[in-house]
Amino acid sequence: MEARKSILKRIYLSFFAICLFGCAILFKIGWIQFVEGSMWKQRADSLMLDYKTIEASRGNIFSSDGSLLATSVPIYDLRMDTRAGAITDEIFNSKVDSLSTGLALIFKDKSEQEYREELFTARTKKERYHLIHRAASYPELLQVKRLPIFNMGRYKGGLLIEQRSKRELPFRELAQRTIGVMREVKPVGIEAAFNDDLKGISGKRLMQKISGNTWKPVNDKDEIEPKDGNDIVTTIDLNIQDVAESSLEEHLRLHNADHGCAVLMEVATGEIKAIANLSREVDGSYIEKFNYAIAEATEPGSTFKLASMLAVIDDGLADTSDFVFVGNGTTFYFGAKMEDSHPPHAARLTVNDIFAHSSNVGTSRLIYQNYAKHPQTFIDKLHGFGLGAKLNLQIEGEGKPLVKNASDKDWSALSLPWISIGYESKITPLQTLTFYNAVANNGRMVRPRFVKEIRHRGQLVESFPTEIIRDSIASQAALAKARAMMEGVVEHGTGSVLNNSPYKVAGKTGTARINKPNSGYEKGGVSYQASFVGYFPADHPVYSCIVVVYAPSNNVYYGGAVAAPVFKDIADKVYSTRMDLHAEPLEKDTTVSDPLPITKAGYQQDMLNVLDEMSIAHAPAADQAAWVATSADKQRVSMTPRKYKDGVIPNVVGMGLRDAMFVLENEGLHVKVTGRGLVTKQSITAGAAIYKGQTIQLELN
């Protein structure tokens, strides 16, 4: 009996515990449902909702005249809410075939049947964020909006549009490496250096996670609107840049060279007006893929001789009229042979002649005789010229220069004579140009400058004035003699190819033997580097320029033959467009009347501004058309409208290249160009339909 009572007691106790536990569960359910319900609902929503970053529109990069060098072009990811309220089964079933046909025709990436099956599957699965197409262009977006179902309106038709940006270079390879690129691995150029200004401030948008890792915007507008990036105004002159790259490529091809660079700098300000860097590809083409002018530090060769001569003259140890014994153009230093590239015309040459004819023997003997006992004095002089130090440029990637000290471990008895002629040192082309620019600028060394302004929607944010590195690198007397020596190089020395210009040029040729790895300078291990650096007009310097051609391989490798012609092309272009550089103004022939200038087709407002400025009579198009064609008689320039329709090939004959490319690329066309000047022919007739990915060829006169 006692056992039975004990068992029942345990049963009742267990039952009571179970009931108590059940009540606790019910109480907790009620508490969560009615007391904590709102909190847990918010927390659940927080797991499904998130603020996503909306990238700001990246700022533009402009040339000095306002031409676009880099810009962000909008592209669109198109999605569909297959369960949008207005899309009934009847509407979907009756119009999905037409929608599929339209999408196939616009994008040409899938067949009509594939689009139809995808859309049916997405609707069956009740997808609210189905991907239609990535990276659609604006013209494609306009066509999609007109398709059945989507033309019902933004919300009723279920079309969801996500805009993002793609970086474009309107002038393709022009200054491409200096403009640079933002990328995860080692961003370069202006894009990288001024990224904080260009990228703007990101916004925020509330997004809802709907399936997998797919997020859909909750609201129509961003919660925090992004702030567009600032614009960068560079110092690059697009016209000179074009000539620099064209001429450099032409001569690289002519000499089958490995790579080359050319830089034009304004003497007084340090503004870089053109910088070209070209490398040969396996197929023989030349592209911009590395900034040699800034980054490649090599033995400069004979262009370094100006620093050697300026040092010895500024120290008062020699004068340009002094004679130096050069013998037959061969000498030895501690058993090492040094020789001139050509036998000298006399056994004794003046310092002027040594420099003009680039005598290695004469230069090295002059330096060795005066500095052998105290070589560090010479090295300190070179450092005083700014050689061996970085320029701290506005953009990253500057090569590390080297002008060794006499106390360095690798200094030898041969170092002094070989350094004097441009070996056992490393300097980038831009560092060499900066030194020559200082000589042209009466000794004032200015820092090379690539960017002159930062603007936001046209308003000035920051400007970058000229920075002075050194007020004077040498005495005025020594600088005057150095400039006279450089003029002698062109007048009767190794740079005489430039002596037939209508303006005076001063400069120095350079031909350096390049030491190939593991080969030394012995036979089979030698390549060459041809260069020319100088300034013009020599009597009042405005621009300095350097051209370096690496590894020419057609048995012509001297700087005067390989690099100087590129210098001349660039200088001729500048001289032809800068009337203030002409020593004497052209006299006007009053015996004939001035004809009206040739006027190209283009943007009407630009035309009116130019014609008004030149006081030329004109008759604008009656309907204030944006784009016009022109014709001229003896009295005035008349304009007739050119009207363009979406999806139709425009007529760009008679336009300048910039306007023509603007019109065609806005229609989604890829443009290829041959020649220069006005458009005389287009490969696709105006009025024809435009298809995705279509390329049009323009011929210029």
Structure confidence at residue 592 (pLDDT): 43
pLDDT at 439 over 50: yes
pLDDT at 625 over 80: no
d(Cα 80, Cα 121) in Å, to the nearest integer?
Answer: 12
Tokens encoding 566: 């590129």
Report, as an integer, the average pLDDT of 469-495.
95
d(Cα 117, Cα 99) in Å, to the nearest integer?
Answer: 12
Lowest mean pLDDT among 276-280, 343-347, 570-574, 589-593: 589-593
In the structure, what pLDDT confidence band is assigned to residue 209 with cuts at 50, 70 and 90? low
* Nearest in space to 484 (alpha carbons), one of 538, 438, 532: 538
The secondary structure of 546-578 as a DSSP string is EEEEE---SS---HHHHTHHHHHHHHHHHHHH-
Structure confidence at residue 226 (pLDDT): 74
Lowest mean pLDDT among 66-75, 312-321, 520-529, 666-675: 520-529
In the structure, what pLDDT confidence band is assigned to residue 516 with cuts at 50, 70 and 90? low
Most confident of 102-111, 186-195, 269-278, 586-595: 269-278
Report, as an integer, the average pLDDT of 580-607.
62
In the structure, what pLDDT confidence band is assigned to residue 89 with cuts at 50, 70 and 90? confident
pLDDT at 570 over 50: yes
Who wins on pLDDT, 149 or 633? 149
Tell me the pTM: 0.72
In tens, the pLDDT along 12-64 reads 777 777 887 778 788 778 777 777 777 666 655 555 666 666 677 788 999 99
Lowest mean pLDDT among 66-80, 211-225, 619-633: 211-225
- Cross-strand partners of 263: 275, 546
Buried residues in 601-615 as b, exposed as e (16+ CB within 10 A):
bbbbeebbeebeeee
pLDDT at 70 over 90: no
- Cross-strand partners of 231: 455
In tens, the pLDDT along 328-342 reads 999 999 999 999 988
Most confident of 87-101, 182-196, 391-405: 391-405
Most confident of 9-23, 204-218, 427-441: 427-441
Report, as an integer, the average pLDDT of 63-82.
87
d(Cα 289, Cα 181) in Å, to the nearest integer?
Answer: 11
Rounded-to-10 torsion of CA 390, 395, 396, 401: -20
407 CB burial (10 A radius; 0-12, 13-18, 19+): exposed
Most confident of 145-154, 580-589, 600-609, 622-631: 145-154
In tens, the pLDDT along 394-415 reads 999 999 999 999 999 999 999 9
Q: What ranges make up the beta strands (E) of 293-406? A: 323-325, 330-333, 336-339, 348-350, 402-403
126 CB burial (10 A radius; 0-12, 13-18, 19+): exposed
Structure confidence at residue 560 (pLDDT): 80
Structure confidence at residue 523 (pLDDT): 42
Average pLDDT, the chain: 85
Asked if 418 and 412 touch (Cβ cutoff 8 Å), the reply is no
Structure confidence at residue 586 (pLDDT): 47
Q: How many CB atoms lie within 10 A of CB 475?
A: 15
Provide the residue type at 187 as one letter: P
In the structure, what pLDDT confidence band is assigned to residue 525 with cuts at 50, 70 and 90? low
Rg (CA), the chain: 36
d(Cα 260, Cα 298) in Å, to the nearest integer?
Answer: 13
| Helix orientation angle between 476-492 and 429-440, rounded to the nearest 10 degrees | 110
The secondary structure of 215-276 as a DSSP string is EEESSSS-SBPPBPPPEEEES--HHHHHHHHHHHHHHHHHTT-SEEEEEEEETTT-BEEEEE
